[in-house]
Amino acid sequence: SQVRVAILGATGAVGAELLELLESRNFPLTHLKLLASPRSAGRTLQFRGESLPVEAVGEDSFKEVDLVLASAGGSTSKAWASKAVEQGAVVVDNSSAFRMNPDVPLVIPEVNPEAAAKHKGIIANPNCTTILMAVAVWPLHQVQPIQRIVVATYQSASGAGRRAMEELKAQAQAILQEQTPPTESFPYPLAFNLFPHNSPLNDQGYCEEEMKMVNETRKIFNDPQIRISATCVRVPVLRAHSEAINLEFAQPMSVATAKELLANAPGVRLVEDWQANYFPMPIDATGKDDVLVGRIRQDLSHPSGLEIWLSGDQIRKGAALNAVQIAELLVERNWLKPATAMMAY
Ligand code: A2P
């Protein structure tokens, strides 16, 4: 099949990873268009040994495009996704703009690939922390239903984009030189510090990032009953998020069973060396496709509880890799067809 691809947000942190993954996974594309803001027009990026120009996204950008991988933020997706669909493209959108829209499948290929079949032009890529948790929890939930999840996240700077990663480095340098650290991408210094995720708070005191974990997991698992409470925290790690997850099952699941399930689960690597006290770390998860899971132990406070710990590359499985896997799924199953019943997004 002949797939003409556009990356919207090609110059960003996720955009760079999308380019790398399309090349390294040998995605069957015949043409690649790189789109970003007018600020980047005229730049070039490397793909398969060629320099490709970056274009400012515009009205005609999607005319000869079958698939758009969008990672340029919610407002850019809202502005351009429906235009791309009107022009015959299917959009895999990494932003939060359409995730909870009932007409938009929210897909993790290891968890709910079939949901992608029902797309009407737009498929949403879930939030990064949600993807990492769902990949690790789904194999257990399928065998023994989970009733409640309590999760705390340790989220890297990469989730806030390329400029935020640069800012973390600049902050560290400034602090070491006893200067005032720059705070443009982040509200507070992140270097040598941490703070609760700074997305908007709701009336119950949860921030948007936390509610994404609740609502998106319910949609992906197709389980509106599952109870989830999250505390999301930004930590001074450049790339790769970690999560401490407490699971409460309907019936007890043994540690041995959980380990066996996770050792054989797609997209997961069981990483634990109890003697060496070695478990998943962001530094080891960086650049890896798999979510690293370990420290699986019985919850001392509950007979049907398990504790697990994970680290996963936020830019890879948390964003770009999941989007490319969705694109591969669409091609393999012949689901990459333009919307027949047009939706008003
Ligand atoms: P640009 O580099 O031209 O600003 P990150 O999440 O790493 O900050 O990346 C955001 C990506 O989204 C970049 O590629 C950025 O392009 C792109 N982007 C941001 N705003 C717009 C916009 N209004 N139109 C098109 N692309 C945008």
- Kindly report the protein residue whose alpha carbon is nearest to atom 15 of ligand 1: 9
Distances (CA, A) of 161 to 60, 296, 314: 27, 31, 11
**Stretch 293-315: mean pLDDT:** 98
260, pLDDT greater than 70 = yes
Quote the percentage of the chain above a pLDDT of 90. Answer: 97
How confident is the model over 176-198, as pLDDT tens digits?
999 999 999 999 999 999 999 99
Residue 84's identity, in one-letter code, is: A
How confident is the model over 17-61, as pLDDT tens digits?
999 999 999 999 999 999 999 999 999 999 999 999 999 999 999
Structural domains in the chain, sorted by start: 3-97+320-332 (3.40.50.720), 129-314 (3.30.360.10)
Q: What is the DSSP letter of 185?
A: S
ipTM above 0.85, yes or no: yes
Of 17, 18, 76, which is best to mutate to test ligand 1, by the most ligand atoms within 8 angstroms of its C-beta?
76
Are 99 and 213 spatial neighbours (Cβ–Cβ below 8 Å)?
no
174, pLDDT greater than 80 = yes
Phi, psi at 261, each rounded to 5°: -65, -45
- Kindly report the protein residue whose alpha carbon is nearest to atom 27 of ligand 1: 37
Quote the percentage of the chain above a pLDDT of 70. Answer: 97
Q: How far apart are CA 162 and CA 266, in angstroms?
A: 29
Q: Is 267 annotated as a binding residue?
A: no
Are 209 and 231 spatial neighbours (Cβ–Cβ below 8 Å)?
no
* Extended strands (E) in the chain: 3-8, 29-36, 44-47, 50-56, 67-70, 90-93, 122-124, 146-155, 195-196, 227-234, 241-249, 268-270, 291-298, 305-312
Which residues, 6+ apart, have CB-to-CB distance to 226 below 8 Å? Answer: 141, 146, 147, 148, 149, 217, 218
- pLDDT score at 337: 83
- pLDDT score at 279: 98
End-to-end CA distance of the chain: 28
pLDDT band at 96 (very low <50, low <70, confident <90, very high): very high
Q: Which among 81, 2, 68 has a CA at the least distance from the CA of 33?
A: 68
Å from CA of 15 to ligand 1 middle = 9
Q: Is 43 annotated as a binding residue?
A: no
343, pLDDT greater than 70 = no
Q: What is the phi-psi region of residue 322: left when phi exceeds 0, alpha when psi lies from -120 to 50, beta otherwise?
A: alpha
Strand arrangement, sheet containing 67-70: 44-47, 50-56, 29-36, 3-8, 67-70, 90-93, 122-124
For β-strands 227-234 and 195-196, DSSP reports them as antiparallel
- pLDDT score at 340: 60
Q: Which residues surround ligand 1 with Cβ inside 6 Å?
A: 9-13, 15, 36-37, 39-40, 57, 72-73, 76, 161-163
2, pLDDT greater than 90 = no
- Global pTM? 0.97
Are 213 and 231 spatial neighbours (Cβ–Cβ below 8 Å)?
no
Specify which residues 45 forms β-bridges with. 52
- Kindly report the protein residue whose alpha carbon is nearest to atom 6 of ligand 1: 161
- pLDDT score at 232: 98
**Stretch 245-253: mean pLDDT:** 98
Å from CA of 12 to ligand 1 middle = 6
Of 11, 14, 158, which is best to mutate to test ligand 1, by the most ligand atoms within 8 angstroms of its C-beta?
11
- Kindly report the protein residue whose alpha carbon is nearest to atom 21 of ligand 1: 37
Q: How far apart are CA 18 and CA 33, in angstroms?
A: 12
